[in-house]
Structure 1
Amino acid sequence: MSDEITDSPTDWVSKHLRKYVESNGADGHLYYGRPTLLLTTVGRRSGLRRRTPLIYGRDGDDYVVVASNGGADDHPLWYHNVLALPRVEVQVVAEVFPAVARTATAGEKPALWEQMVGIHGEYAAYQRKTARDIPVVILTRA
């Protein structure tokens, strides 16, 4: 596995990532007023390191993100990657650390979902848009 990281080719996402990385999160941590982190996964097929900006919440020491994919009927690729390889890297502002990703259990999800909808209300609309149960993912420092 290479140390090189592949960022999204989507223009607005790559701009956000570039600003975040170049400023150590000073520009990009708050994205339209919402806190974002950078999640780096390893591609389950390619083996490439892939970086994605995600809105996050906190649950104690853990970070919480939502695999919404904008309400699409398929899970985002990063979620498939963490299911296959849960060891990830997280950047919050300037701090970069290893973490382990896991899907919230049925018992954990309701409170975490409510918290995340409070941070980004669009998640509720995304869930209405799809029959897929949108996962909530917990990131725990390794």
Structure 2
Amino acid sequence: METPEKPKSLDSPVTGTIIKWMSRANTWAYKATGGRIGGKWRLGTKHFGEVPEVGILTTTGRKTGQPRESPLLFLREGDRVVLVASQGGRATNPMWYLNLKANPQVSFRIRNEVLALRARDASQSERAAYWPKLDAMYPDFVNYRAWTDREIPIVICEP
């Protein structure tokens, strides 16, 4: 399958602002409805399989010390929650990733269940094992990796 061309405005400040406000709206709807609204991610799902679930990551702001919430696709394996800091293939890592690097104690909400977790970067062997699973869950991750020069982090959150 051929990778589509990178959107011209992907790295623009306007796109970053849109992502921020859409994330806030998604988080509000998710929390207000226990995940019934905002709990599935249909954009970019180019297959007819299962639609990926969304959860809410809460980090501590590295500058403010305040809680910061981000709606994210996730892969759950046992007591692990696996996240991808893709930011749609943008040139920079998302703010939530920078926050958890500064303070790895996070929580992750899956519908009405809130998990207290510790985040870390996946090792190279874990990355090799997780990318096929993550790509199967959300095929656009392949495009995102092609659109950016940075190594997109995979984050493993564990109790």
TM-score bucket (shorter structure): 0.7 to 0.9
Structure 1 unmatched runs, 5+: 1-7
Rate the CA distance shift 1:133–1:94 in 2: closer, same or farther, 3 A: same
TM-score by length of 2: 0.79
Shift of 1:45: 1.2
Distance in 1 (CA, whole Å) between partners of 2:68 and 2:99 is 9
Structure 1 or 2: more strand by fraction: 1
Which segments of structure 1 move beyond 4 Å, counting only runs of 4 or more?
Answer: none
Structure 1 vs Structure 2 CA RMSD: 1.5
- The AA in structure 1 aligned to 2:120 is R
Aligned counterpart, 1:62 = 80
Task: State the AA in 2 paired with 1:113.
Answer: W
Aligned equivalent of 1:53: 71
| Residue among 42, 47, 54 paired with 1:36 | 54
Q: Determine the structure 2 residue equivalent to 1:102.
A: 120
1:115 — aligned with what? 133
Post-superposition offset of 1:26: 2.2
Percent identity, aligned pairs only, is 32
1:25 maps to which residue?
35
Secondary structure, counterpart of 2:37 in structure 1 = coil
Unaligned runs of 5+ in 2: 1-17, 43-50
Q: CA deviation at 1:73?
A: 1.5
Q: Distance in 2 between matches of 1:39 and 1:133?
A: 21
Rounded Cα–Cα distance in structure 1 between residues aligned with 2:21 and 2:65: 23
Is 1:93 matched up with 2:82? no
TM normalised by structure 1 equals 0.88
Aligned length: 134
